[in-house]
């Protein structure tokens, strides 16, 4: 543990030229006294760490010292490609690995380029979960991620609707984070690839064996296809609406991806447009139509039209 911290301290000083004891303590998550002891240990080992005294002092490496510890390991290199998703790294247990990798890259850069990482970090940030969602990471995410990295089969138990818990041996190909929810793309018995929600897993154990990946498998392409299939499978019926120009503009916020599949006619004399929109059910359509308020008139089905008319009458009575 201490050896790793000493290496990290050298890399920090190599990347940033000079740092105060407080800055090093914050980065290394130790006390300033521990930083002092570590600096003394490095000096005794032949690493030229020099301490400048005074209010503006700090620690630095003397004489342009360069460590040979900047070579990336495989795990560090892989984690580095995920560094734009810090929350995901943390949930998968890879935050420390990625941090070390970034330090090694920074230490290996020319001094003039060392600020590039911070410049990008302060200008671009990916926040994957949707608004108003604070979903905790699945408890079993870390062991599943480890199996994905190392191509190891896993024996799992998961909840599947009304069928209770089901046991499977999976070949975990890849993880996907969608709107704050984690999914596993895996193959069962060398058959077809399937998608599993990780928060439904109740147990994960290493199967003891490795699997050989199908070189033709493309995770982004597979996920895009499955996601589109999933959405379309939900659309079992459709509704016909008459929308004002404002209603047309707000339709995609009310019905989501279904707006892309809607078919529309030409505007009538009032500028309103008749639109047919796919939907999961009349119940779902009811909640979506209410969002559009007076900017929509339901034409069909008749049951939905009457239900929305009743809601409008109750709202009018409430405001009277």
- Give the distance, in angstroms, between the CA of residue 308 and the centroid of all CA atoms in the same chain: 38
Indicate the pLDDT class of residue 45, thresholds 50, 70 and 90: confident
| Residue 254 · residue 308 · CB < 8 Å | no
| C-alpha distances out from residue 23 to 14, 32, 58, 69, Å | 14, 9, 9, 22
Strands, sheet with 181-188, edge to edge from the N-terminal-most edge strand: 193-197, 181-188, 165-178, 152-159, 201-210
Q: Tell me, what's the pLDDT at 47?
A: 80
What's the whole-number mean pLDDT along residues 212-221? 87
Total residue count of the chain as it appears in this document? 320
Q: Tell me, what's the pLDDT at 202?
A: 92
Q: Tell me, what's the pLDDT at 120?
A: 47
pLDDT at 78 over 90: no
What's the whole-number mean pLDDT along residues 172-192? 84
Q: Tell me, what's the pLDDT at 107?
A: 57
Q: Tell me, what's the pLDDT at 216?
A: 87
pLDDT at 299 over 70: yes
pLDDT at 266 over 80: yes
What's the pLDDT tens digit per position in 118-138? 544 455 555 566 666 666 777
Indicate the pLDDT class of residue 162, thresholds 50, 70 and 90: low
| C-alpha distances out from residue 288 to 179, 213, 291, Å | 20, 43, 6
DSSP string for 63-129: GG---STTPPPHHHHHHHTTTT-HHHHHHTT-HHHHHHHHHHHHHHS-GGGTTHHHHHHTT-----S
């Amino acid at each position: 543990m201490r050896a790793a911290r000493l290496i990290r301290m050298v890399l920090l000083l190599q990347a940033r030229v000079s740092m105060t004891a407080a800055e090093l303590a914050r980065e290394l998550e130790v006390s300033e006294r521990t930083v002092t002891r570590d600096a003394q240990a490095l000096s005794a080992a032949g690493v030229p760490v020099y301490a400048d005294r005074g209010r503006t002092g700090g620690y630095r490496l003397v004489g342009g010292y360069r460590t040979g510890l900047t070579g990336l390991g495989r795990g560090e290199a892989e984690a580095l490609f995920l560094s734009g998703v810090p929350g995901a790294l943390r949930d998968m247990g890879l935050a420390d690995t990625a941090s070390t990798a970034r330090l090694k890259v920074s230490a290996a850069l020319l001094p003039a380029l060392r600020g590039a990482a911070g410049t990008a970090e302060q200008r671009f940030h990916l926040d994957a979960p949707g608004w108003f969602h604070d979903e905790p990471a699945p408890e079993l995410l870390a062991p599943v991620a480890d199996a994905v990295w190392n191509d190891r089969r896993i024996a799992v138990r998961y909840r599947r609707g009304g069928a209770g818990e089901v046991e499977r041996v999976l070949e975990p190909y890849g993880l996907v984070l969608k709107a704050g929810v984690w999914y596993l793309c895996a193959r069962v018995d060398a058959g077809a690839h399937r998608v599993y929600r990780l928060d439904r897993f109740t147990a994960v154990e290493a199967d003891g064996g490795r699997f050989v990946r199908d070189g033709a498998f493309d995770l982004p392409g597979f996920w895009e296809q499955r996601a589109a299939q999933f959405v379309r499978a939900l659309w079992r019926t459709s509704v016909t609406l008459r929308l004002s120009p404002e209603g047309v503009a707000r339709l995609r916020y009310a019905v989501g991806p279904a707006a892309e599949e809607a078919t529309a006619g030409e505007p009538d004399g009032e500028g309103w447009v008749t639109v047919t929109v796919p939907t999961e059910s009349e119940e779902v359509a009811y909640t979506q139509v209410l969002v559009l308020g007076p900017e929509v008139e339901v034409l069909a089905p008749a049951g939905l039209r009457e239900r929305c008319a009743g809601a409008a009458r109750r709202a009018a009575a409430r405001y009277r």
